[in-house]
Amino acid sequence: MIFSGSMCAVVTPFRGGELDEAAFARLIEYQITNGTTGIIPCGTTGESATLSHEEHERVIELAVKVSAGRVPVIAGTGSNSTREAIRLTKAARDSGADAALLITPYYNKPTQDGLFAHYSAVADAVDIPQVLYNVPARTGVNITPATVARLAEHPNIAAIKEAGGSMDYVSQLRLLSDLPILSGNDNLTLPLIALGAVGAISVLANVAPSYCSRMFDAAVSGDWELARELHYETFPLVDLLFCETNPIPVKAALAMMGLIDGEIRLPMTPLSEGNAPRLKKELERLGLMQAGSN
């Protein structure tokens, strides 16, 4: 199964306004070396909303090339335009991506019937495993468990990334469907595993992939004591990675670690001076500041 373990919603590094391909390759190697089981380019953390179509496709191509089959690549291809989502998903498939991650259409605020029709249209048009992505705080719309269960009957709908933050939602979904569930919130990954989640698409994994992979492996093997220890060890860092809008803090952290330049695109702005020292101190506590020299 390609949707399992600790997967990384990888950032998109820029330098001088352009994609920093060398830094992107370093990030992927850092992930694979430290136990990450899947690479997710062009998601929210990858600043997909500010990428041109050409950049979007190039990032996915690079992720596939650098990963070289060692871990799956699940490409972010969602859009609030169904036609655009189909085009991006086809391009990802043609680039060799193993699967696609499709956010619920944002701004439009479709009905549940509209969400069903949107996802069905993409799944009908592109023969590649597809992951539904529910994150109502970002999109303004929540895909209900009942709609997910309807979509799960489609052979190309393969999993759901749940980032709504509700334990009740996950329990209701599991009662209606056996569609694989992926945690989309680092602070809730451990409890979601207890509810049956088979994987996580993580922001934290960008900076602490070894911690994330070890926590996931411990939990699924039944070593809950170690899993809880790792959860609490990294919880303060998770909190700091969301002290400002994602991916502002995580890109700042990766820059502090020497892995990327740290450049971020407007309308996102650099991490505030007040939060930067707190983030650096936590990275130092966890022994992550030397990652760029490894």
Catalytic positions are 133, 161
10 Å Cβ neighbour count for 237?
Answer: 21
**Rg of the chain over CA atoms, in angstroms?**
18
Quick one: CA dihedral 189, 2, 65, 293, positive or negative?
positive
Burial class (CB in 10 A: 0-12, 13-18, 19+), 242: middle
CA 66 – CA 140 distance, rounded (Å) = 34
Question: Could you give the CA distance from residue 241 to residue 87 in angstroms, rounded to a whole number?
Answer: 32
Q: Is 153 exposed, middle or buried (0-12, 13-18, 19+ CB in 10 A)?
A: exposed
Task: Report the sign of the C-alpha dihedral through residues 152, 158, 164, 165, in that order.
Answer: positive
